[in-house]
Structure 1
Amino acid sequence: MASLSLLISTASHAIGPGGSQGDASASGNGQKIAAEVKISGVQTKVNGDPRTAKTGSLSPQDSNWTPPACWYEPKFSPKELKSLIEGLNSDKLFGAGALVSDTLKTYFQTNKYDDYNMAKQDKGMFWSAVVNPARKNDPKAMSCDRPPFWVDENDTPDEPLAVSPKILAEYAYDELPVPDTDIAMSPDGKQTVNLDTWVWLNKARFKPVSVTASLPGTGLSSTTTATPVALTLEPGTRDADLHPSSGECPISKSGGIGTPYSDEKKNQTPPCGITYLRSTNSTGPHHLKATLTWKISWKSTNGQGGDLPDGTFGTTTDVTVQEVQAINR
């Protein structure tokens, strides 16, 4: 069965989902054909401020969980599948000659379906395996090894990896446009031994973001939302005190993390920050890591929803610490 699935996967590069031709180009001798087709029909939309810059992907805090590497979705009508398989020019598309198309024809015509279910045209679809582009190098991407299978209209396939609202929500997890964790600090630039470093995040930039994933023609749609909840600081040296001592700065009721420094706060301890205890004259800069934790939730148009594993995304900043007698901010 796995080999049949691979054959279909290879063959489908000659034709796009829905039966349309991909953007194919052939070499002069007709022996090589390259085509670009959309792996999945799932579409995503970033909600809210389109200026939000994506600089990386969230890392799930649950190391045993990842978004799906592959799933099955409706892809071919009987006419489209028949046209695809019987229209293969094996000599040009494959080095295996007629073996590929003959194997596929045998399976769909005699072993499984009567003339590709042509009698059920417009009454269902063949579902086929697709790969999550963000997970294409994941070995799990090969786990969807079933050949295309028939699903009657309005039926739910008996297949755990069949596309569903939750799978769409998990797919959107990889598409969340989380910004780089750029922290603001005071003092800005070089730090000073035994002088508190105030750390905070820009509330205008670090706010909830969401992505809606949908599969046209199915009515399936889910929105996945990431909300910042805490900032974790790692000073890059043992010679430092953290504020708070855990290094975890929670989000405030106003939606901010940390507090911007101002002169009237000079005798206060920062709610989020670091006090470096030694200079970096002999060691070189410390690598201050700031990691933002995002709480992930999802909701579907059919009322389903829930939580997905929290995600984290961090940035490392080189910090130079100086030792001076007089302190001026």
Structure 2
Amino acid sequence: MIAEAYKGIFQTDKYDDYNMKKQGKGKFWVAVINEKRKGEPEAMSCNKPPFWVDEGKTPDEPLAISSKILAEYAYDELPVPDTDITMNPSGKQTVNLDTWIWLDKARFKPVSAKASLSSIGLSATTTAKPVSLTIEPGTQDAKVHPASGECRIAPDGSIGTPYSDDKKNQAPPCGVTYLRATNQTGPHPLKATVTWEISWSSSDGDGGTLPTGTYGDTTDVTVGEVQSINR
């Protein structure tokens, strides 16, 4: 993308005494690659030589930095927390015993990041809002709750419900029930993925949405059986 970089006079191998005769205020604009996206093919498409833009003017360049590009920069800096789930029971699970799963409401809440180009007074704020938790138990020998495996955010902002003793006869609104022990197979890789909706707004009144973000972690789960003796 094109980003504003220099106020002074400089030379390039294509231009000698570049812009020496220009009068008035303004700045040079040069191509800058986002280090976090330099591996994308589009990153090399911005290769126009440095050019001058008079103060108060909009560069006649389709790749010139805009409020949406700033929003995309902010997207890369969103302070999204790691997908750490809470489980009850914690630790080793038991065959046919429901496992309740939820997220810490205090950590999983909307987060924002801001990117700005102060010299031209342009800024954009990007916000990520958690909307659901998807559970993949890591084995076919399991039931997920709900059956879709997707736990949607509640009106109060929570995802999943913390377990308490008064809920012991209830099925978890968000969780998993393992149907077979892992003594023959080894731990199941339970994967938990949070989906975040992304929106942005800017100082020039523009705004919209960006592609949904998904962030997940995997937890190894050991499942045992309750042994009983009949006499």
Give the TM-score of the pair, scaled to structure 1: 0.67
CA distance in 1 between counterparts of 2:197 and 2:158 reads 15
| 1:125 equivalent in alignment to 2:32 | no
What amino acid is the match of 1:74?
E
What amino acid is the match of 1:192?
T
What amino acid is the match of 1:108?
Y
Show the counterpart of 1:108.
15
Q: How does 1:1-329 map to 2 (within 5 A)?
A: 71-77=1-7, 79-82=8-11, 85=12, 104=13, 107-109=14-16, 115-325=17-227
What amino acid is the match of 1:225?
T
8 Å CA contact retained: 2:96, 2:178: yes
Cα deviation for residue 244 of structure 1 reads 0.3
Aligned residues: 228
Cα deviation for residue 118 of structure 1 reads 2.4
Following superposition, which runs of at least 4 residues in structure 1 exceed 6 angstroms of deviation? none
> Alpha-carbon deviations, 1:107-148, whole Å to 9, x = none?
323xxxxx4222335522221000111122333322111111
8 Å CA contact retained: 2:74, 2:115: yes
Structure 1, gaps ≥5 residues long: 1-70, 86-103, 110-114
Aligned Cα root-mean-square deviation (Å) = 1.3
8 Å CA contact retained: 2:137, 2:189: yes
SS at match of 1:318: strand
CA distance in 2 between counterparts of 1:232 and 1:317 reads 13
CA distance in 1 between counterparts of 2:51 and 2:82 reads 42
CA distance in 1 between counterparts of 2:55 and 2:15 reads 19
Kindly indicate which of the two structures has a greater share of residues assigned to helix: 1
Cα deviation for residue 157 of structure 1 reads 1.5
Cα deviation for residue 158 of structure 1 reads 2.1
SS at match of 1:255: coil
What amino acid is the match of 1:273?
G
> Alpha-carbon deviations, 1:249-305, whole Å to 9, x = none?
000011000000011000001000000000000000000000000010000011111
SS at match of 1:241: strand
Cα deviation for residue 159 of structure 1 reads 1.7
CA distance in 1 between counterparts of 2:80 and 2:23 reads 43
Show the counterpart of 1:42.
none
> Alpha-carbon deviations, 1:183-222, whole Å to 9, x = none?
0000000000000000000001111110000012011100
CA distance in 2 between counterparts of 1:143 and 1:183 reads 41
Structure 2, gaps ≥5 residues long: none
CA distance in 2 between counterparts of 1:121 and 1:164 reads 25
Show the counterpart of 1:55.
none
Cα deviation for residue 171 of structure 1 reads 1.1
8 Å CA contact retained: 2:9, 2:19: no
What amino acid is the match of 1:135?
R
* Percent of aligned pairs with the same amino acid: 68
8 Å CA contact retained: 2:93, 2:99: yes
